[in-house]
Structure 1
Amino acid sequence: MKLVVKSIQIYIPYELSHLTAIIKLIKIVINHLSQPNNLTTIRDIYYQDVEIFNKKQQECKKLLIDVFEDSLNWSLINDLNIHPTQKGLFFDSFSNEPMLIPINFENYFENKKFCINDLKIVVVEKDAVFHSFCQFLNLNSNSVKELNYIIITAKGFADKLTLRFLSFLNSTYKPIAIYGFFDSDVYGIMIYKQFNENCGNSNLNFNGIFLFDTNPISWLNITNRDFKIMSKMSNDINSSTHRELSRGMFFHKKVEMNVVSNKDGKDETTNYNQYIFNKTFK
């Protein structure tokens, strides 16, 4: 790859004490670009010399942006093939355990034989719920062995890689449905909205958890700050999430999926896993 710089105006807002880190960073990037099929992450660059970045991965990221994006106007991803640290996880019907979403996920899925007509995608807000549900599917493998599915989480608000991954799945495999499971609170709805805007603004369904699906013993109080944000959001969301916001504002309550009440006498973990399973596969 040949990068052409027409004009360079370097402004790096660091004191001279950071000069060593800048020089080291440039050497690391030059070495990275010289490798065949070069592809790396900010995390990988950071761990090549944690001391030089004061043991702070965020400092490595900021330095990369200052030197290469702000000063040289190069894209870390498109020009240098340096990607954000992977955050999102996925689990599919071909896997035995959850995996980080690959940076080159197009290549990973090239050999996957999903049936286009019946693929289901499930987006789960919370990491703990995601892992529990994946374990639930493994334990109930006979019930899903003929199904094609992909479970995704970004552990809260989604990073760009997870959003691109979901968009790729949606456009490539055209799933029959994308099911979303988020907390019934302002932040869960904000995370749903972020995902939905990146997969067609209509393809991702908000399937719960809903306030009225749970025992009031599981409800939590919302703060005044939450109420104000909910009020501002209420005119900018779809009908199902608008209803959920309205209910939350009326009762001044919210519910989080990982503290779902034990309504039916079963273990609580089984309860929310069964809740997702019933809404997705039954």
Structure 2
Amino acid sequence: MVLIKKDSKRKAKIYNSISDNQLELLNFNGILKLIKIIINHLNQPQNLTTIRDIYYQDVEIFNKNQQECKKLLVELFEESFGWSLTDDLNIHPTQKGLFFSNILVNKYEVSLIPINFIEYFKDIKLERNTIKVIILEKDAVFQSFCQYLMNQKHQLNNHQFKYIIITAKGFADNLTIKFLTFLNLEFQPTTIYGFFDSDIYGIMIYSQYKEKCGDNIEFNGIFLMDIAPKNWLNISDRDFGIMSTMSNKDVSTTTHREITRGMYFHKKVEMNVISDKSLTTDTNYNQYIFKKVFQ
């Protein structure tokens, strides 16, 4: 079996069933297994699956390594056949992003962003510019804020606020980006509120969202000057170097300010580790986010 890498100068990979190389034998068996799985997958009426689902159909043959399964899928179908796993085979990356919303009646729970999110939200009718979309960098902040909103449910309902909270637990995966793009086009929120750490990694994550989803995504905090100095954290020399490089790029005024402040003080702030009494204006970060979005 020969896998030809499209548009690649590297040698084609050859997998042989009579090889004496154990790794080649495993890869050969894995490829045969993948072909069988994909044929069955394409014959299903609802042929939608994830790399994770494929991996768990036979973890042993993929050497108990999900990345090995993904690598073989890419080599076999995308690099050799020129097919797209997502568009042609309806095989999607493992779901990573989470969302929480009050736009679905009587459904207040944290859920994975559905792969078929267009079908999931097809019956929702909202006026344009009425939904508030909030992105939170950290999963811990997301979970805490969702619980906080549950406690504020009656107050929000009285004001007819509609919202959807999203986290990708750091840098966004493709499904989360596509979901945000869909929300941006379908419901046209005037602003997408983004809350990230005031450090170079939080700013890089924000920049990724902004690049992929448009200019109406704003960096709303947390800001270095919103936190009592005793709760600031030191930045490393490596972080300082990345900040210096990024400060010379085309970034927003807000993020440029946070970068230069961090470089000046050699400090940063991480939202999920601040104490209730760290903030200079509010008692905790849940109230901090709530005030900026809903008040």
TM range (shorter): over 0.9
Distance in structure 2 (CA, Å) of the matches to 1:51 and 1:17: 10
> Secondary structure of 1:110's match?
coil
Q: Does 1:131 align with 2:143?
A: yes
- How far, CA to CA, are the matches of 2:278 and 2:117 in structure 1? 40
Whether 1:148 and 2:157 are equivalent positions in the alignment is no
Structure 2 residue 183 is matched with structure 1 residue 169 = yes
Number of aligned residue pairs: 272
RMSD, aligned α-carbons? 1.8
Map 1:236-247 → 2, pairs under 5 A: 236=249, 237-247=251-261
Q: Contact 1:215–1:261 at 8 Å: present in 2 too? A: no
Q: Is the 8 A contact 1:115 1:148 kept in 2?
A: no
Distance 1:84 1:264, change over 3 A: closer
Q: 1:35 aligns with which of 44, 60, 84?
A: 44
Unaligned segments of structure 2, at least 5 residues? 6-11, 16-23
1:121 aligns with 2:133: yes
Superposition deviation, residue 12 in structure 1: 3.5
Q: Does 1:253 align with 2:262?
A: no
1:15-40 CA deviation, whole Å, 9 max, x = no partner? 23321111011100110011112100
In the other structure, the counterpart of 1:4 is: none
Note if contact 2:128-2:187 (Cα within 8 Å) is conserved in structure 1.
Answer: yes
The alignment's TM-score, normalised by the length of structure 2, stands at 0.88
Residue 77 of structure 2 is aligned to residue 68 of structure 1: yes
Q: Structure 2 counterpart of 1:182, which letter?
A: F
Tell me the residue number matched to 1:188.
202
TM-score when scaled to structure 1? Answer: 0.92
* Shift, 1:220, TM fit: 0.5
Structure 2 contact 198–269 (Cα < 8 Å) conserved: yes
**1:105-153 alpha-carbon deviations (Å, 9 max, x no partner):** 1111111233323211000000110011001100111121121101000
Q: Which residue of 1 aligns with 2:212?
A: 198
Following superposition, the deviation at residue 13 of structure 1 comes to 6.3
**What CA distance in whole angstroms lies between the structure 2 residues aligned with 1:176 and 1:260?**
30
Measure the CA separation in 2 of the matches of 1:19 and 1:273: 52
Equivalent position amino acid for 2:198 in 1: S
User: 1:44 pairs with 46, 53, 62, which one?
Assistant: 53
- Secondary structure of the corresponding residue to residue 123 of structure 1: strand
The amino acid that maps onto 1:39 is L
Partner of 1:3: none
Instruction: State the percentage of identical aligned residues.
Output: 63
Residues 220, 253 of structure 1: 8 Å contact kept: yes
C-alpha displacement at 1:264, in angstroms? 7.3
Q: Which amino acid aligns with 1:187?
A: Y
Cα deviation code 1:13-71 (max 9, x no counterpart):
66233211110111001100111121000000001111111111111111100111111
Between the aligned partners of 1:262 and 1:274, the Cα distance in structure 2 is 10
Letter in 1 for 2:93: P
Matched, 1:20 2:29: yes
C-alpha distance in structure 2 between counterparts of 1:13 and 1:159, whole Å: 32
Q: 1:178 to 1:42 in 2, by over 3 A?
A: same
Distance 1:186 1:126 in 2: 14
Q: Give the match's secondary structure for 1:152.
A: strand
